[in-house]
Structure 1
Amino acid sequence: MSFSHGQNEIKQAYFASGCFWCVESIFESLEGVNNVESGYSGGWLKNPTYNQVLTGKTGHAESVRISYNPNQISFSNLVEVFFRIT
């Protein structure tokens, strides 16, 4: 997914892992990353709470949505960082 924001193109990438807080803070520190939002992906319960997801019974994975400038950091670099930290 991508969209133009002024003269800078902004793209989005989604990653899911065990703990979104840890992943979120690492991606926020990267140059070229504009925003990181935590949330849940998958699952069958609509609008689950954090505690419900922690039970493992909702089918959700903790995930992050990363908005980034591909002129400053590539998707490949984001993937490389993700696999280094997970």
Structure 2
Amino acid sequence: MAKDKKNKAGTQVPQGQFVFGKQNYQLMLIGLAVIILGFVLMYGKEGDIYDFRRITLAPIVVMAGFVIEIFAILRKPKSE
């Protein structure tokens, strides 16, 4: 059982609980992986710097990763 601790206001704060739910953390990891994938696409190999993959696809993938991160943070966990 988690111990409760009193803060300055005198209310009890439960210790040992995570801020987000399990699914939120999973979504955050997925978002982080998508962001990393976008940066890898930007880096790419040698070649034309104005390639479609580098200037169009990769930024879209990175932005999608940030959208997933924001969704993961704002999503309310289901009551258990």
Structure 2-normalised TM-score? Answer: 0.24
Structure having the larger proportion of residues in helix: 2
Greater relative contact order (CA < 8 Å, ≥ 6 in sequence): 1
Larger Rg belongs to: 2
